[in-house]
Structure 1
Amino acid sequence: MKPVLIIAFSLLTMMANAQNADKMNLNAGIITEKLQETKEFYTHTLGFGVTFENDFYLLLHTPDKSAEISFLKPNHPSQQPIFQSPFNGKGVYLTIEVSDVDAIYEQLKNKDIAIEVAMRDEDWGDRHFVIVDPNGIGIDFVTYTAPDE
């Protein structure tokens, strides 16, 4: 009986490993001096949680813990040269897909968060609006709908 259990366990382990072989998570990282302002904005304004932080690194997760984003202080001696230069505030945006973009829009307006791009419907099916984080990153909140025919 023991060999059968060992074989069954081995097969289950191989199947689990095969299923996870293609798994890939993405964590975008922004190098910024504004760690505290960023933490305040994402946790209090957007409801993100802190996964990990220390004096030079901040890892945040979405309220449902389905995604993470990290922030790193520039020129930290523990980091390699590629991770030294601060973000210059241009050329990056985030998209946060939500089930009810209108509700999020009202919540943020009620918190007096500046709306960079007002709520709008696009021909390709997006209903969305944009705010900007303390680092100058545009955050596009979107609910996808069927595109206009």
Structure 2
Amino acid sequence: MKAFILTVGWTNAQTKNKMKLNAGIITEKLQETKKFYTEVLDFGVSFENEFYLLLHTPNNSAEISFLQPNHPSQKPIFQSAFNGNGAYLTIEVENVDVIYKQLKEKRIQMEIEIRDEPWGDRHFAIKDPNGIGIDIVTYTKPE
């Protein structure tokens, strides 16, 4: 019997399979989404066509994708549009105060103003065009 352990990826005695998570959202708002992530959060475009958009963080450490709903190239599991509820993203940054100031200067609406939490987060939150909450945080040690 082989034991599998989840660390950076699944590992067993014969092979090492590294995993990389790419979250995806199905939305009709591909252009609004592209504009928001590239202009507000400084993401870059990794790939784009008429029904799919793959974006990467400014340091290329993570990606997120967006897919047009009901596209004939996709199976039914990837056809229904996101309804705007029940999802969030967390973006960890070195200095949340700098990002907060930059977004305030861009007049981005804050869903949660910057604050310190007793468990150690210093963060604020915004929403993307799809209604996804984005928590921008610098982790600190609790007091």
Q: Same fold (TM over 0.5)?
A: yes
Paired position in structure 2 for 1:7: none
Is 1:61–2:56 an aligned residue pair? Answer: yes
1:127 aligns with 2:122: yes
SS at match of 2:81: coil
2-structure distance, mates of 1:97, 1:48: 14
Cα distance per residue 1:70-122 (max 9 Å; x no partner): 00000000001000000000000000000000000000000000000000111
Which of residues 89, 92, 97 in structure 2 aligns to 1:97? 92
Letter paired with 2:101:
E
Residue matched to 2:104: 109
Task: Tell me by how many angstroms 1:23 deviates.
Answer: 1.5
Unaligned runs of 5+ in 2: 1-12
Q: Percent identity?
A: 74
Counterpart of 1:84 in structure 2 is 79
The alpha-carbon deviation at position 146 of structure 1 amounts to 0.3
Mapped pair 1:142 → 2:134: no
Runs of 4+ that moved beyond 2 A: none
Confirm or deny that 1:48 pairs with 2:53.
no
Number of corresponding residues: 130
Residue 134 of structure 1, CA deviation: 0.2
CA offset digits 1:10-61 (Å, max 9, x no partner): xxxxxxxx9x824210000000000000000000111000000000000000
Residue 26 of structure 1 pairs with residue 9 of structure 2: no
Structure number with bigger Rg = 1
Output the amino acid matched with 1:108.
L
Residue 147 of structure 1 deviates from its aligned partner by 1.0
1-structure distance, mates of 2:55, 2:100: 21
Distance 2:54 2:84 in 1: 19
More strand by share: 2
- Which structure has more helix as a fraction of its residues? 1
Show structure 1 runs of 5+ residues with no match: 1-17
